Chain A
Amino acid sequence: MNISYGSLNISVNYNDTMTLNDLVDAINTAPANNGNVEAFVFQDRDGVSSFRTFR
């Protein structure tokens, strides 16, 4: 799976069992990333987890 952030392209190995945590780890540790994009799991006050990124 390729994720594009402007000019930055991050490749993530993806399969059906991938969890939200796995996706965050994969983006943060991708070699092409170099810390430009930080992904994190955001858990809101109602207990719902979602995926967020910022650069």
Chain B
Amino acid sequence: MRIPDIAFFDTFIKYDRLREKDLERYTKELASGKKILTPSDSTIDNIRSLRFKKLKNDIETYNRNIDLVKTNLDVAESTLGNIVEAGKETRVDIINLMNYGVLDYEDARIFRDYLQSMRDYIINQANISVGDSRLFGGVKSQVNPFDSRGIYQGEFVDTTVPVAPGVELNTTFIGKDYLGTIPSGVWVDTDTDNTVDPNEINHKIGMVKAIDDIIQIIDSGNLNRLHSYISDLGYNNPTDPIVGAGESEH
């Protein structure tokens, strides 16, 4: 069989091109100092690289969340510390009052105003916000979680962000649980299912409730009532029948 010259020529050209390609690649490798020049040079390594990129993004997100959570936890901790300190200070003064027992009108007014400012301070602290979010409102909200009576009006769920795989930390807190609230006010069975549902009870900051009661007793003028025993039931009105009024919690 005769092989025409042209066929030889084509073969030479073909191999020449391949060598040229190789040459070009080696030149690029030498110039860049890298062996892998395009993703297709190493598919497995390329996939690994993409995984690393995703991991890096995840870690950056976690870092941002950790910064956010740390700020919020710091503020929450110092706020609760402030409230505890205010409570301790007020407690000492209340014990002094109970031991002392008798106050003239002016002293009673001064002490009453002091208690009023302390309970207002506690409520203000409980309404602390970081940025535009109230810390103790349960979810991100610009509405005060505690009203001027110290009663919780926030949500009953809290917000968390992931700080590591499977680990979530709070950015906002359920004020009802963190501020030591007690049921206060009359239970109204709004959905008439004869069951005490969480949203049917007023949750009042315990310390504020105690201070409010003392203020009310000072206002009544009978300081000896500070030593009274409290009953278990609360009513809307003193003329309500004791039995069957459908009212409890106070």
CB pair A50–B225 under 8 Å, yes or no, is: no
Q: How far is the CA of A47 from the CA of B216 in the complex (A)?
A: 11
Contacts of A44 in B (CB 8 A): 184, 209, 212-213, 216, 234, 250
Q: Which of A16, A17, A41, A46 contacts B238 (CB 8 A)?
A: A41
Contact A54/B250 with A41-B238, A46-B151 known, Cβ cut-off 8 Å:
no
Q: How many residues from B make CB contacts under 8 Å with A? A: 34
CB pair B228–A50 under 8 Å, yes or no, is: no
Q: Which of B225, B227, B239 contacts A20 (CB 8 A)?
A: B239
**Interface size bucket, A side?**
20 to 34
Q: Is B33 an interface residue (CB 8 A)?
A: no
CB pair A52–B230 under 8 Å, yes or no, is: yes
Kindly provide the distance from the CB of A54 to the nearest chain B CB, expressed in whole angstroms.
4
Kindly provide the distance from the CB of A4 to the nearest chain B CB, expressed in whole angstroms.
13
Binds A, one of B45-53, B155-163, B241-249: B241-249
Q: Is A13 an interface residue (CB 8 A)?
A: no
Q: Is B231 an interface residue (CB 8 A)?
A: yes
CB pair B250–A19 under 8 Å, yes or no, is: no
Binding site for A on B (CB under 8 A): 149, 151, 184-186, 202, 204, 209, 212-213, 215-217, 222, 224-225, 227-231, 233-244, 250
Selected A-B contacts with CB under 8 Å, 5 pairs: A19-B240, A40-B225, A44-B234, A48-B185, A48-B234
